[in-house]
Amino acid sequence: MTKIIKYFIFTICLVLTFLVVFQRIQLRAENKQGSNYPLSGKRAGVWNDGQAALWDLNILDHYRLFGSPERARGYKPEQPINFSHVTHVQEKGIECQFCHWNVAKSPYAAIPEVQTCMGCHSIIAGTSEEQKKEINKLKDYSSKGEPIPWEKVHVMPDYVRFNHKRHVKAGVACQSCHGQIPEMETVERVSSMKMGWCIDCHREQASSIDCYVCHK
């Protein structure tokens, strides 16, 4: 009986080691390819001299073994309105802060009010059938006086305090965390947003890595 347990534990250790190594190799490969948006930064120092918790290891997130898919990279929920950042940002050249106006004024980068959308879309009706359909959805919400039930892409746990204002004012580009939003038809989570990921950047930028900077 004890032998079986020993083998079991050994197998698990083996699998874990394999996963870590595999992930490292993959990450290195991704970084070499030079993808459009920066990946999670370098992995060194995740262990934090042994002080990091096991679940902060990127491995658990990457393979979605733990936690929900909403907390992992690649989460791409279907939105009530098929809003395209490609059209708005890449093609029309609208600045991020034109719609997300309070990102530099508040800890939260709020979703723009329906009124903000209607500022343009009371005039702009769209060109293609598809666009017209989506814009009509917006007009429906507006005329009914209902808020649009957007699906949240970046869900953070309750114990985390992230201040958008501080980061934007410090010159951190939106893309560093959110990825190449201008190229996204549907917004997708490109960063793990795990603690190790945050700390990596804080270390690079020589920002404080005191727990109370982010934990509340």
Partner 1 sequence: MKKKKSLNIIGNTQENTSEDLVSRRSFLKVLGAGTALGLSACADSTKQKIFPDLEGNSAKNPGVAVWYNSTCRECEAGCGISVRTREGRAVKIEGNANHPVNKGSLCATGQAALQGLYDPDRIREPLQKELNKKGQPFFKAISWDKALAQVSSALKGKGANYIIRGEETGSLEKIFDQFSSKFNITQNVWDITSESELAESSKRVFGTYGIPHYKFGKAEVILSFGANFLETWVSPVEFAREFAEAKRKEHPVKFFHVEPRLSMTGSNADLWLKSKPGSEVEIAKYLIAELVKSKKGQNLGSDLMSKISSIASSADLSKAVSTSGISQEKLTSVIDSLVKSKSSLVIAGGTAGSFSNDLLDYVNIINLLLGNVGKTVLPGLLRKPKSNLSEILKTSKELNAKAANLLITYNCDPVLNLPVEAGFEYGVKKSKLHVSFSSHFNETTRLADIILPANTSLESWGDANPRPGVKSLMQPVMQAVFNTKEVGDILIDSSKKAGQSIFENGSFQDYVKAEWLDYGKRLSRTNIEKFWKESLEKGGYFTNPKGQAKIESSGFKPKSKNKKFISPKGIEKDKIVLYPYTSIRDFSGKYANRPWLQELPDPVTKIVWSSWAEIHPKTANRLGLSKGDTVSVSNFYGEVQLPVYTTNYVSENTIAVPVSGTGEQGRYANQAGNGNIFSLLASAYSSEKSLRLLSTEVNVKRSRISRKLVQTQGSDSQLGRGLAETELISEDHSKGHDDHSSHHGKHHEPEQMYKQRTPAIYDWGMNIDLASCTGCSACVVACYAENNISVVGKEVCDQGREMSWLRIERYYDGDEEDPKTSHLPMMCQHCDNAPCEPVCPVYATYHTEEGLNAMVYNRCVGTRYCGNNCSYKVRRFNWFEFDWPEPLNLQINPDVTKRVAGVMEKCTFCIQRINEAKDTAKDEGRLVRDGEVQPACAQTCPTKAITFGNRKDPDSNVSKLGAADRAYKVLDHHLNTQPSVTYLKDRRYKV
Residues that bind partner 1 (CB under 8 A): 8, 12, 15-16, 51, 53, 55, 65-68, 70-71, 77, 101-102, 105-116, 142, 145-152, 155-159, 161, 163, 165-166, 169, 208, 210-212, 215-216
Cβ proximity to partner 1: between 31 and 55 the closer is 55
Q: How far apart, in whole angstroms, are the C-alpha atoms of residue 40 and residue 62? A: 11
Cβ proximity to partner 1: between 35 and 122 the closer is 122
Tell the burial category of 187 from Cβ atoms under 10 Å away from its Cβ (0-12, 13-18, 19+).
buried
**Buried-exposed string 57-93: b where 16+ CB fall within 10 A, e elsewhere:** bbbbbbeeeeeeeebbbebbeeeebebbbebbbeeee
CB of 4 to partner 1, least distance (A): 13
CB of 205 to partner 1, least distance (A): 15
Cβ proximity to partner 1: between 38 and 112 the closer is 112
Cβ proximity to partner 1: between 31 and 188 the closer is 188
Closest by CA position to 30, among listed 66, 68, 74, 60? 74
CB of 91 to partner 1, least distance (A): 23
CB of 11 to partner 1, least distance (A): 9
Cβ proximity to partner 1: between 24 and 166 the closer is 166
Does the CA dihedral 113-146-142-145 come out positive or negative?
Answer: negative
Q: How far apart, in whole angstroms, are the C-alpha atoms of residue 212 and residue 216? A: 6
